[in-house]
Amino acid sequence: MLSFITVVYETLQERAKALARHDYDGSQRRAAPGQFLHYIAEILEQERIAYEIDQEGGIHPRIDAEFQRNRHATLPSLTAPRYANVDHAFQAAFKRLTIENFDTKAAIRDVFDASESLFKLMVAPRNPNLTGSAVETDLRPIVDRALASSDDATKQAAGKTLSSFAKWADACHPYRHGQQSETIVAPPAHLAILLLSQGASFIRWLAEIDQWLQAKRHRPRRTS
């Protein structure tokens, strides 16, 4: 039944595109996909069903309000062209938790790829892989420089947060490599949700630091 909702939305989208191609005066039918999303979202909310619908008609388990807020709060941080690759992997991670494709292992891989892409942008021109040790040697000096004028409490908190990011990166690695097992080794849902939530928070925080550094780098110098 939930998959059928996605099929209906995709059908409405195809009809709307066909109308646009032929320049038909079908404004109401062209608006149908968006209206359908709105109505389904209202129904899921009103009936307190443990699912939500995304902008492409995909049905996701509604894990909890904080998980959803964390995800949606990160997206605005990745709208700049600089973060296109990061955003692509980030969105792919959460799409792995749709009912059509609930794949926790792939979700961890995607959110790690998003983090690694952002990490490499920040430490360029160096190009190390994202590991706990690389965070300490390559990223920490950059974050320290960005927060150089902050108060001591902020510097201490940021330093410990960066250490947490390093440990998070190492925690994701077992699911990015093959396992000596005949069966699929994937993280349980509760662990995958935790790692995705933490990854989203780290990406949002680091993207904001990177944006500040980029703005400072391209700020016109004052002339005397």
Q: Are residues 154 and 76 in the same domain?
A: yes
Identity of the residue numbered 212: W
Q: How far apart are CA 179 and CA 47, in angstroms?
A: 42
Number of domains the chain is built from: 2
pLDDT at position 50 is 65
Q: Are residues 42 and 84 in the same domain?
A: no
Q: What is the pLDDT of residues 70-80, one digit of tens each?
A: 777 888 889 99
What domain range includes position 18? Answer: 1-62
Q: Are residues 33 and 110 in the same domain?
A: no
Q: What are phi and psi of 108, to 5 degrees?
A: -65, -40
Q: What is the pLDDT of residues 154-191, one digit of tens each?
A: 999 999 999 999 999 999 999 987 777 777 788 998 89
Q: Are residues 39 and 108 in the same domain?
A: no
Q: Are residues 20 and 53 in the same domain?
A: yes
